[in-house]
Structure 1
Amino acid sequence: MQTDFHLLYPPDYDRNKAVPMKDYKFIHALKIDAMVILIKESYRGVADLSLENFFSTDERVLEYRLGVVEDLVENPSLYEVFCKAVSIIYNINDMRRVLNSDFTTDSALRSVRYLEMYQEIVNLFADALEKAEIHSEGMQNFKKEIHSIVASSEYQSLNEELPKMELNFGHIKSVTVGINLDGNLRPKEAGLISVNEEQFHPGTIMDRLLKKGKKDKWHLMSALYPLSRVLHNDEQDAIDYSMNAALQTIFAKPLREFEPLVQNYYHINTNMFIALLDDIRFLTAGVKFIRSMKEKGFAMCRPKIASMQEKRCGLKHVYNPMLAVNSVEETIVSNSFELDEKGRFYLITGPNHGGKSIFAYSIGMAQALFQLGLFVPAEEAVMSPVSGIFTHFPSSDENNYGMGRLESECVRLSEIMKQLSDTDMLLMDESFSSTSGLEAGYIASEVLTGIGIIGCCGLYVTHIHDLTQQLDTYNEHPENKGKIDNLVAMMESKEEGTRSYRVIRTTPDGLSYARDIAKRYGLDLEDILKR
C-alpha cells in the first residue's frame, strides 16, 4: 500500500517542484472562497485548509484531478461515501494520538471502536468503488489501493482476530458488580461479575415485589443515580480507580493480545487515509459546489485542457456563478468568450448596469475554478492554465497612505504590471475612473500599450470610450505580442433603455447610447430649443 498516493496529484508527481501561481489575492476578489467553502476544522486537531494550496499551473495535474472530480460528480453514491469518510478519518486520526500515549485499559476501551472504524472505512470505500462506474486514473488507482488492503494477509488476519476477542470493547454499556457483606451488612469484598452490552434501567423495590420486570434482568430494583450529582470528586475518583483496576484484571490477557494487534495493523495501514484527508476535504467541497449548481439547473462542464503555451480560453455560454448562488436574478444570462490572434485582451464598454463587470468576473471565476481542477460555469470550455491571475478592481478600503485614490490605484497596478507575463490573466474594472477623462484616457492608453507588448490575456471594463477607438495605436506598436479588441454590452431596447446583458465582439459607437438617452429624456439640443 502506497503512503504517498494522492487523489489530487498523479503518481510520481513531485509537489516540491510545482510552480505556484504568482499571486492569490484573486481568490477573495473573485469570491472563489464563497463558492468552494473549506470548513475550518482546527478544533479537531487538524490544520485548516487554504484554497491557495490547491491551485495548479500544471496541465498533467489538472487533467488528473478533473478526472477524479468527474467520477464524483457522475457517481452521487460515491460522493456521499467520500463525505462520510471525512468524519471517520478524523476519528482514525484521534486514535493515532491515543495509541501514541501509554497503552492502558482505559485507552484500549476508547480506541477499540476506532480500530473497527478502520475496517469500516476500508469496507466503505471497497464497496462504493466496486459499485461505481469510474474512469479516471486517480480513482482507478485508489480502487487498486483499497483492493490491495482488502486482499492483504494482514487485513484478512484482522477480520479473523477481532471477533475472537472476549468482548467488543466499543459496545460496552454497563458492568455488573458483586459485593459481599459482613455480619453488619458492611461491604467486605467486591468483584466484577460481568461486562455487558446492554444498559440497566431504573425500577423500584415495589416493582420487584410485584414481580414487574421479572423477566428483564436489566430492570433494577432502585432508581439510577447520576454519579456526578450524588458523589463528591474524591468519591467519584475512587469509583473510577476501582472500576479501572477491575477491568484491568479481567481484561489483562485480552489486552496483551490486543496491543500487538493494534500496533501491527493500525499504524501502518491507516497512513494512506490520513494522507488523503486533505485531498478528500477539498474534493468534497469542490464537488458540493458543482452539484449545487447543477441541481439549480445551471451548466457546469469539464473543460478541455490546452497547454499553457497555446494560450487558449474558449467558453461557450459562460455565466457568473455567484449570481446563481445568491439567486440575484431569476434568469442568469450567459455569454461566450474566446481568445484568439486578433484578441488577447479586451476592452468592455456599454451602458451602466449592462452586465460588463459581471461578465468580466465570470471569465476570471471560470479560470480560477479550472486551475483548482474543478468544473467551470459554462456549457463547453477549452482552457490553458495561466501562471497568474491579477485583479485591479475598485476597492472601498483603499489604503492610500496620504495619497489620492488615483495615485493609490496606480501604485497597485504598477505592482501588478511588474509581475505580468504573456501567460498571465489581468482583469480590470473601471480603473482610473476617479480622475478626469483626459487624465484617465492618457494613463489607460499607456497601460494598454504596455499590456499589448507584454502579451497577457484579460479584460478591462471601462467607460472611457475613446480607448475603444485607438486599438490600431496599441496593436501596431512594433513590440506588440498580444492584440487588443472590443467587447460591447448590448441594449435590448434603446428606446426603452432596457438591457439584454449580452456581450458581443464589435466596435462600439461611444455616443450612440448617450444620444438615445438624451433623446428619450428630452435633453438633446433639438428638444431643449422647442421649449
Structure 2
Amino acid sequence: MTTEREWSLLYPEGAAPRSPENPTADLDVAAALSAETLFGEMRKRFKFKPNQKHPLVYLTDDIDVIRYRLDVVEDVLNHEPLYRFLEKLLPDLEDIQELHMLHVERGDDLFDQLTSVSEIELYVGLIDKLYDFFRQHEGVYSSAALKAFAANVKRIRESESYGALKAEHAKMAKSIRSIKSFTIGVNLDAKLRPAEAGVVAIHTEPFRSGHLIDKLLRVDFGDDGYTCLAPLEAVGKGLAPEQIAAFRAAVGGTLHTVLKSSLKSWRPAIRAYTKANTKWCIGLADEIRFLLGGVSLLRRLLESGVPVCKPEAVSKESKTFTVGGLYNPVTALRLQQSPETGGPGDRVVLNEMQFDEDGMIYILTGPNQGGKTVFVQAVGIAQLLFQLGLFVPAFSAVISPVDRIFAHFPDKEDKVRGGRFADECRRMMHICERLTEHSLLLMDETFSGTSAAEATVIAEQVLLGLREAGCRVLFATHLHDLARSIDRLNERNDEPDRCRIDSLTAEAETDDLTATRSYKISRSRPKGQSYARDIAEKYGLTYERLIRSLGKRNMQ
C-alpha cells in the first residue's frame, strides 16, 4: 500500500517536516533579512489562492532533505516542459484539495457521496495525465523524487484495481450525469388539494415548456411525454427566500432518495480506495506550489543577469559556509523592477564569504552606507534559501545546515520600557539562551543604543561568550575599536576548540577622511582611521552643514 510520505516531492522516504515548535528561522528573522520580498515573489503567482503555506514552514536542517530538494529544483529549473506541466497540474490538485475540505466541512450524506464521485473523477484524470507525461519524458529527470514519483504513477496506472476503479467510475458518473429530470406524482383530495406526492420516474431528457392550447390545436406537436401542459417557470420566480429554500430542500431530498441506492454500493469501496490512494494529492498541491514559487524566483534572478548555483550540502558538524560571488537577491530584484530609481548603493556587488577555523566569528566594519547591512542580509538569505532546498545567489557554494538562524538587528518599533539599549540587551540575552554551536547569529549595529565606549566593552563580553558557544557569528558594527581588539580577544581562553574571531571590512577609498564606497567586503583589518567625517555625515554634523544651519537661523 502506498503511503502519503512516499509521494512527497520535498521529503525523502523516512524524513519528516521539522516541528513548528522549533523552527529554523521565524518571521522576525525573515523581516530582519528583508527576505519577505523574496517570499512575496515566490507567492505572487498564487496570491489569490487561500490558505497558502508560508515558505518558512519548509525550512529544514536535515541534510538528506536538503539534497533531495536541490535535485528536484534542478530538474524543474532546467526542464521547461516539466515546469509548464506542473503549472497545468496544480489546478487539478487544488480542486481535489478543495473537495476534500468541503467533505470535511459539510459532512452532508448526499453531498459527501457526490463529492466522492467528483474526487475520483479528478483523481483518474490526474493519474492519466501524469502517466502520459512521464512516459513521454522517460529517463529525462535525474532526481530521486521525480523517479519515485514516475514509478509510483506507473504502478497505480497499470494496476488492476485502478482499471476497475476507472471502469466503475465511468458507469457511475454516466448514470448520475444522465439524470436531467424526474416526474413527481401528486395525489389530490376531494377539494383538489395535494394529499400525497412521490417520485414516479427518472428521465434522461429535460422537460420543455408547453401550453394546453398548443397541444389541442397543433396536430404535429409531439406528445413525447417531455412537453409540459403549462409553461415551465424559473425556480424562485415570485417565491419568497424561505419558499425557495423549502423547494430546493424537497428536490434535494428526492434526489437523495433516488441516488441513495445507486451510491450505497459504490461509496464504501470507493471511499476506501480514495482514503488509501488520493491523500497524497492534498499535500502534493502545497509542495508543487512551493517548488514552482522557488523556481520562479530563481528564474527572475537569472533574468536579472545575476548568478544562482546549486550549493554543495555538507554535514552540520563541519560548520561550513564557503560561498563565491555572493550577493543580495533583494537588491537584484529591486533593480530589475525599477532600475531608474536605484540610488548609489543600489547595485549588485559580488563578494566572497567563508567561515573557517581562523574565523567563525566576524566583526564587519566600514563606512556608513558601505554595504555592511546588505552583506549581512545576503549571508542570512543564502543560508535560508539553502535550508529551503533552493539554489543560492552566488557563483559557487558549499554550505552546511544550521539548527537555528538568529538575527539581532535594530528594532524599528519605538521601545519605551527601559529604553532602546535595555531592549537590545534583553533581546541578545534571549538569543544567547537558545543558540547552540550549530547556530548562525547575524548582528547589525547591535548595542548602538549606548555610547561607543560602553558598547565596545559590552560587545567584547558578548563575543567572548559566543566564542565559548562555538556558533557562527557575523557582526556588522560602527565600533571600529572593537575590530582592533580581535587579537586580544582571541588570546583569551585560546584553546584549540575555541572559535576564533576575524575581521571583515567594507572597502572604501578615502580622501580627506571622506569615503568613496565600493561595496566590496574584504577579509582584512580596519584601516587606521575610522571615517570620522563619514560618520558625522550620517548624523548631519559636518562643519559645512552646521554653518548652513546657523546661517539660516541668524537670518530669521
The question of whether the paired residues in 1 share the 8 Å contact of 2:83 and 2:292 is answered with: no
Partner of 2:301: 293
Partner of 1:499: 517
Q: Which moved more, 1:26-35 or 1:306-315?
A: 26-35
The question of whether the paired residues in 2 share the 8 Å contact of 1:390 and 1:427 is answered with: yes
Q: Secondary structure at the match of 1:410?
A: helix
* Correspondent of 2:75 among 71, 76, 93: 71
Partner of 1:529: none
1:302 aligns with 2:319: no
Partner of 2:499: 482
1:466 aligns with 2:467: no
Q: Which moved more, 1:59-68 or 1:109-118?
A: 109-118
Q: Secondary structure at the match of 1:428?
A: strand
Identity of aligned residues (%): 32
Unaligned runs of 5+ in 1: 525-531
Partner of 2:59: 55
1:263 aligns with 2:234: no
* Correspondent of 1:448 among 454, 458, 463: 463
The question of whether the paired residues in 1 share the 8 Å contact of 2:120 and 2:169 is answered with: no
1:359 aligns with 2:371: no
The question of whether the paired residues in 1 share the 8 Å contact of 2:209 and 2:230 is answered with: yes
Partner of 2:181: 175
The question of whether the paired residues in 1 share the 8 Å contact of 2:52 and 2:286 is answered with: no
Q: Which runs of 4+ in 1 moved over 6 A?
A: 16-19, 38-41, 178-182, 184-190, 199-210, 217-224, 515-519, 521-524
Q: Which moved more, 1:365-374 or 1:261-270?
A: 261-270
Q: 1:140, CA displacement in angstroms?
A: 1.6
CA distance in 2, matches of 1:516, 1:424: 34
Letter in 2 for 1:465: H
Letter in 1 for 2:117: V
Q: 1:83, CA displacement in angstroms?
A: 3.1
The question of whether the paired residues in 2 share the 8 Å contact of 1:29 and 1:391 is answered with: yes
TM-score relative to the length of structure 2: 0.77
The question of whether the paired residues in 1 share the 8 Å contact of 2:94 and 2:285 is answered with: no
Partner of 1:117: 122
1:11 aligns with 2:13: yes
1:36 aligns with 2:39: yes
Q: Which moved more, 1:130-139 or 1:160-169?
A: 160-169
Label 1:156 to 1:129 Cα distance change in 2 as closer, same or farther (>3 A): same
Label 1:193 to 1:89 Cα distance change in 2 as closer, same or farther (>3 A): closer
RMSD of Structure 2 on Structure 1 (CA): 4.4
Q: 1:94, CA displacement in angstroms?
A: 3.5
TM-score relative to the length of structure 1: 0.80
Q: Secondary structure at the match of 2:389?
A: coil
Label 1:345 to 1:173 Cα distance change in 2 as closer, same or farther (>3 A): farther
Partner of 1:429: 444
Q: Equivalences for 1:269-348 in 2 at 5 Å?
A: 269-327=277-335, 330=339, 331-348=347-364
Q: Which moved more, 1:425-434 or 1:110-119?
A: 110-119
The question of whether the paired residues in 1 share the 8 Å contact of 2:370 and 2:519 is answered with: yes
Letter in 2 for 1:61: V
The question of whether the paired residues in 1 share the 8 Å contact of 2:99 and 2:115 is answered with: no
Residues 348-399 of structure 1, C-alpha deviations (whole Å, 9 max, x = no match): 1222111110111110111112112222222221101112211110002264
Partner of 1:528: none
CA distance in 2, matches of 1:17, 1:381: 27
Letter in 2 for 1:362: A
Label 1:404 to 1:228 Cα distance change in 2 as closer, same or farther (>3 A): same
The question of whether the paired residues in 2 share the 8 Å contact of 1:465 and 1:510 is answered with: no
* Correspondent of 2:30 among 27, 50, 57: 27
CA distance in 2, matches of 1:494, 1:114: 72
Q: Which moved more, 1:381-390 or 1:120-129?
A: 120-129
Label 1:72 to 1:108 Cα distance change in 2 as closer, same or farther (>3 A): same
Q: 1:81, CA displacement in angstroms?
A: 4.3
